[in-house]
Structure 1
Amino acid sequence: MHTASTHTAPRIHLVIGPVGAGKSTFVRHLVQQHRAVPLNLDDWMATLFSPDRPDTADVMAWYVPRALRCLTQIWKSAEAVLNAGSDVVLEVGLIQQHQRDAFYARMGPWADTMVVYVLDAPRDVRRERVLRRNAEQGETFSMVVPPHIFELASDLWQPPGDVECAERTVVFVPMAER
Structure 2
Amino acid sequence: MTAVLHVTFGPSGAGKTSYAQTLAKRERAVIFNLDEWMARLFGPDMPEKIEYDWMVDRVGRCEAQIWSVAAGVIATGTSVILDIGLLRKADRDRVRQIAAAVELPLQFHYVDAPQEVRRARVSERNVIRGETFAIDVTPEMFDFVEGVWEAPTPEELEGAVIAPLER
Alignment equivalent of 2:102, drawn from 109, 126, 135: 109
Instruction: Kindly indicate whether residue 141 of structure 2 is the aligned counterpart of residue 149 of structure 1.
Output: yes
How do residues 18-57 of structure 1 correspond to structure 2 at under 5 angstroms?
18-56=11-49
1:115-174 Cα shifts (integer Å, max 9, x gaps) = 1000111111000000000001011000000101101112221122134234xx311111
Counterpart residue number, 1:171: 161
| Equivalent pair of 2:96/2:106 in contact (CA under 8 Å) | no
Instruction: Kindly indicate whether residue 7 of structure 2 is the aligned counterpart of residue 9 of structure 1.
Output: no
Gaps of 5+ in 2: none
Q: CA–CA distance in 2 between the matches of 1:68 and 1:162? A: 28
Counterpart residue number, 2:151: 159
Bigger radius of gyration among the two: 1
1:64-97 Cα shifts (integer Å, max 9, x gaps) = 0110111111111111111101010110011101
Normalised by the size of structure 2, how large is the TM-score? 0.93
| Equivalent pair of 1:123/1:154 in contact (CA under 8 Å) | no
Q: Percent identity?
A: 37
Runs of 4+ aligned residues of structure 1 deviating over 4 Å after TM superposition are none
Which amino acid is the alignment partner of residue 134 of structure 1?
A: N
Normalised by the size of structure 1, how large is the TM-score? 0.87
Gaps of 5+ in 1: 1-7
Aligned length: 166
Counterpart residue number, 2:117: 125
**1:59 shift after superposition:** 2.2
| Equivalent pair of 1:12/1:110 in contact (CA under 8 Å) | no
1:48-67 Cα shifts (integer Å, max 9, x gaps) = 001111112x5222100110
Q: CA–CA distance in 1 between the matches of 2:13 and 2:33? A: 15
Distance 1:152 1:10, change over 3 A: same
**1:47 shift after superposition:** 0.2
Q: CA–CA distance in 1 between the matches of 2:56 and 2:97? A: 19
1:11-38 Cα shifts (integer Å, max 9, x gaps) = 0110001110011111111110011011
Counterpart residue number, 2:90: 98
